[in-house]
Structure 1
Amino acid sequence: MAQQAHWSSKIGFVLSAAGSAIGLGAIWKFPYTAGNNGGAVFFLIFLVFTLLIGLPVLLAEFYVGRKSQRNALDAFGALAPRTPAWKAVGMAGVAACFLLLSFYSVVGGWVLAYVWHAFGGNVYAGADFGELFGKTIAEPLPAVVWQLLFMLITAAVVQNGISQGIERASRYLMPLLFVMFLLLAVRSLTLPGAMAGVSFLLAPDFGKIGSETLLTALGQAFFALSLGVSAMLTYAAYLDNKQDLFRSANSVMWLNMLVSLLAGLVIFPAVFAFGMKPDAGPGLIFIVLPEVFQKIPFGTALFAVFMVLIAFATLTSAFAMLETVVAALIRGNESKRRKTTLLTALAILLVGIPSALSFGVLGEWKIMGKTVFDLWDYLITSWMIPLGALATAAFVGWAQPRETVLAHMREGSSVPEKLLGAWYLALRWLAPAAILLVFWHTLNK
């Protein structure tokens, strides 16, 4: 059954898709990954790889979604009815979204907890932020309660559908996120010694380029756009043929890059201004930044604003993940949306509880040498996402007739033929080669 709902506006789709892409990847993962990999040179390579590899695969997901007008489970089968095996790509994407949200919601719960900490007086000069973070993730009941709250907020938005739920929320959340980030970046840039942080982010030292930096930047570019889990495919299924797919994908990509840049301009100038190290790793936001903000006038209030920003970005990504699963279950029957959304959110929460407990009571329970949280993270990011994106690139670049693909991509778009041809070549050859390289690197770690 074709999708019945549609986005009410072009900008609504772009903001919602950008919200899906941004998430914790741009705001949480990018700064500490850049900090560990040379700063500016990593950012430059990340930019190039996003343009040459991430964008072609993003457009491929847009093609499958809009062309089929189906949910992720049915989209590939609708476009290739004589090859039932392609349906497995959509099934894997839905399963990946389900599992991804089960542990992503745990991190989302941490973010909400830190919003509470910031406004509730637990973030103050002299506090032991390492101990605060340890308690936040280790105490069983609070960890599950914050995860539950995160899933309730996500379900409350998704149950109202595309135009009245996700699009309406993104219309407010995304512009507010950009404005607040700009204000925080201005404040960070006015700190004494802040220019050292700007140089770290924007003045590349090409002597720091190594194979590890290249591969890490490639992986960050690949994952930054929510590729490989059918989320962008699902959003594109609600589009009509008047939407310019190339302009939309370009907007989503650059908005994602802009937020990554702003996150760097908020964090690195402040870190350098106070003599701290940029390579603090995943704890940068939860442990290092609270201390940095305490050294800034009105720092506690500014840190609270910063955590609200991260909460916004985390939720917009969660909307896309939950919508991908819900859309596959209701198959265009919007009358089932509310009940299906709530039941799906509950199922994801239950599956995610062991992940929430992985830093406390289940910390010693290991599978393949990993906690439940780390196992899901590994399986999704190192296996399911690369394979899903590779399969999507192969499907559009090789399994679909060339002229069918190019004709559809021209609809609603005035893209020059040379650019259209370049995209198709990149999708056929460059993107699969790069994805296989990342996959090979993962297998040989």
Structure 2
Amino acid sequence: MNNFSKIGFMLAALGSSVGLGHIWRFPYIAGTNGGGSFVLLYLFLALGIGIAMLIGEMLIGNKGRANAFKSYEKLDPSPRKRWRFAGLTLIGGPIILSFYAIVLGWVFYYLFFVSFSLPTDMEVSKANFDTLYSQNFIAQTMGLMLVLGISGWVIARGVKKGIELLNLILTPMLFLIFLGLLIYAMSMDSFPKALHFMLGFEWEQAKKALTLSIFIDSLGQVFFSLSLGIGIIITYAASSDSQQNLFKSALFIVLSGIVIAIMAGLMIFTFVYEYGGEVDGGAGLIFKTLPVMFAHLGFLGNIIAFLFLIAFSFAGITSAISLLEPSVMYIVEYYKISRFRATWSVVGVIFILGLMIVCSLCTPLASYLTFGNKSLMDIVEFLSANIIMTLGGLLAVIFVGWVIPKTTLYEFTSHFFSSYAFKIWYILMRYVAPFITIVILIAVSVKFFVGQDIASYLFQEEAL
């Protein structure tokens, strides 16, 4: 098998998690959930349950040495091997990529067109994005094709010459660009305010902020940002060194992702505070609020916007290829066809689904691609990023915690876990992780179908 180097595996896994989850979703989720209290809760959960779950999925791939479907089959101790079907949650990757590529296409559109002509007020900025979102079929289709074309080209080149090489180049460049932008943000008067918002902790305020909904949002962010549940980590780990220290790898991935997410948040909120934006601007923070903030800096703002969007696109591409690889590896190994043919076959299917989503956004076909009050994009995003991803994560932790014999797990982890550390990890995988994933699954289902947070739906929410 064409394997990753040890550092290549860690950078590839980090690249899969950094993407839109850490740079786009983390800042706006933090902004809408009160900043510091959410961030500290997220840190606690990511460094505890996040690392434990990441190691669990890594073990499946590292010891299975095959695609997600086959890895489950190899490690399943029962004669019927029914757990192999848990590996089919890898279908979530292509489904997520069908709309993820559209969002990343927006990033490229802003990079090539908006960064050179930044809007100077919020009304113009909102109109620019609304026009792109609901009217510009050509731009969205071209963005979709560009993202899928780059992703397909990288995956077709294989593990070493494609995935690892790209991450060895883009991930350090992403960090350096963000570091440079953060250093510039530190020179601004509003940086201390952003720092306090992101990392400040006041107990009385925290007690009011730490609600059940924020706890669930934090859990969901841990899950989303670590690419759990859709075969990415299993697939990458299958191409890692058989003696890889998975604890160190997981720690590196989680800590590096946290650093990049906090860097992004500090930089973004410094600009927002400096020029009177709203920290709770939600999902439109990147595409609507920031362009106006950058415009206040004149030509320097164009440069900063360009560098920010370059870093954003780097992160997005590394995530996009990770969404594509599990299904390609499965087809190559199961159907015994070339990687080139498998890659472009999957890309073709994703493009068709993505094109349908674009049609549901900005063509007369939109009314035919709306079901109830949910658009096709809403449905696809919910099914893949919430149901399939969370269900896949639940199956993984149950498989590791309850199906693989404890003695086997101890043998698998003996080169990086002490007996005491193993006991803690085993309890997390056997009891805590399944409970958490079930909570997330129920919470996102209630929010999607009922339209309310689970806390609001079940009872009058109070602080934890």
Scaled to the shorter chain, the TM-score interval is over 0.9
Tell me the secondary structure at the aligned position of residue 360 of structure 2: coil
- Whole-angstrom CA distance in 1 between matches of 2:83 and 2:268: 43
1:41 corresponds to: 37
The answer to whether the Cα contact below 8 Å between 1:354 and 1:373 also exists between their aligned partners in 2 is: no
Counterpart pick for 2:16 among 20, 24, 27: 20
- Whole-angstrom CA distance in 1 between matches of 2:40 and 2:360: 35
Q: Structure 1 residues 11, 333: CA separation in 2 closer, same or farther (over 3 Å shift)?
A: farther
TM-score by length of 2: 0.91
Structural mapping, 1:341-420, within 5 Å: 341-361=343-363, 362-364=365-367, 365-411=369-415, 413=416, 415-420=417-422
- Whole-angstrom CA distance in 1 between matches of 2:325 and 2:158: 8
Q: Does 1:336 align with 2:346?
A: no
The answer to whether the Cα contact below 8 Å between 1:112 and 1:311 also exists between their aligned partners in 2 is: yes
1:427 corresponds to: 429
Tell me the secondary structure at the aligned position of residue 330 of structure 2: helix
1:185 corresponds to: 182
Identical counterparts, % of pairs:
30
- Whole-angstrom CA distance in 2 between matches of 1:368 and 1:100: 21
- Whole-angstrom CA distance in 1 between matches of 2:181 and 2:303: 11
Name stretches of at least 5 consecutive residues in structure 2 with no aligned partner.
448-464
TM-score by length of 1: 0.95
2:118 corresponds to: 123
Tell me the secondary structure at the aligned position of residue 77 of structure 1: helix
2:248 corresponds to: 247
Please say which of residues 203-212 and 27-36 is displaced more in the overlay: 203-212
Superposition RMSD on alpha carbons, in Å? Answer: 1.6
Letter in 2 for 1:304: F
2:461 corresponds to: none
Letter in 2 for 1:133: F
Letter in 1 for 2:177: M
C-alpha deviation, 1:416, in angstroms: 2.4
2:324 corresponds to: 322
- Whole-angstrom CA distance in 2 between matches of 1:416 and 1:77: 28
| Count of paired positions | 437
The answer to whether the Cα contact below 8 Å between 1:12 and 1:171 also exists between their aligned partners in 2 is: yes
Query: Which whole-Å deviations, capped at 9, do the CAs of 1:281-317 have from their partners, x for residues lacking one?
Result: 1110001000111122500111011011110111101
- Whole-angstrom CA distance in 1 between matches of 2:321 and 2:334: 17
The answer to whether the Cα contact below 8 Å between 2:229 and 2:391 also exists between their aligned partners in 1 is: yes
Query: Which whole-Å deviations, capped at 9, do the CAs of 1:317-348 have from their partners, x for residues lacking one?
Result: 11111111100000189970112112211111
The answer to whether the Cα contact below 8 Å between 1:5 and 1:332 also exists between their aligned partners in 2 is: no
Letter in 2 for 1:360: C
Query: Which whole-Å deviations, capped at 9, do the CAs of 1:212-268 have from their partners, x for residues lacking one?
Result: 111111111111100000100000001222211111111111111111111111111
C-alpha deviation, 1:123, in angstroms: 2.2
Tell me the secondary structure at the aligned position of residue 331 of structure 1: helix
- Whole-angstrom CA distance in 2 between matches of 1:101 and 1:130: 25
- Whole-angstrom CA distance in 2 between matches of 1:334 and 1:108: 31
- Whole-angstrom CA distance in 2 between matches of 1:240 and 1:185: 35
Q: Does 1:11 align with 2:11?
A: no
- Whole-angstrom CA distance in 2 between matches of 1:314 and 1:186: 23
